[in-house]
């Protein structure tokens, strides 16, 4: 599924991604972070940084060039993590 974003980009512009930027970002993924709703381990991206970076660049650059992004990229999973004190208080979660 693809959604269209408004094309009024007077104040907003994107530069195309470069291979080294994406590859470096993937190599620096924190593999101790948990997976998201897609169940993809950050370790997969870190280990496959060189191979995946070209595909991601092509896809992301096409998305910005056409102002269209996958609906799935707008999903997120939020799980509050209890810190201390009264668990009923929102401030005691992160």
Instruction: Per residue of the chain (94 residues), give pLDDT as tens.
Output: 566 655 555 666 778 889 999 999 999 999 888 887 788 899 999 999 999 999 999 999 999 888 888 888 777 777 788 889 998 888 888 8
Predicted confidence at residue 2, as pLDDT, reads: 61
Reduce the DSSP state of residue 82 to 3 states and report it: strand
Question: DSSP letters along 5-73, please?
Answer: PP---SS---PPP-HHHHHHHHHT--TTSPP-TT---HHHHHHTHHHHHHHHHHHHHHHHHHTEEEGGG
Q: By three-state DSSP, how is residue 92 classified? A: helix
Q: What is the pTM of this model?
A: 0.60
pLDDT of residue 76: 75
Regarding beta strands 2-4 and 68-70, do their DSSP bridges make them parallel or antiparallel, or are they unpaired? Answer: antiparallel
């Amino acid at each position: 599924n693809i959604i269209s974003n408004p094309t009024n980009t007077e104040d907003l512009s994107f530069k195309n991604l470069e291979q080294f930027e994406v590859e470096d970002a993937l190599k620096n993924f924190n593999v101790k972070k948990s997976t998201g709703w897609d169940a993809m381990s950050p370790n997969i991206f870190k280990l496959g940084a060189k191979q995946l970076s070209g595909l991601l660049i092509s896809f992301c650059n096409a998305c910005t060039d056409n102002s269209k992004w996958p609906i799935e990229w707008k999903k997120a999973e939020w799980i509050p993590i209890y810190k201390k004190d009264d668990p009923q208080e929102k401030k005691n979660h992160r």
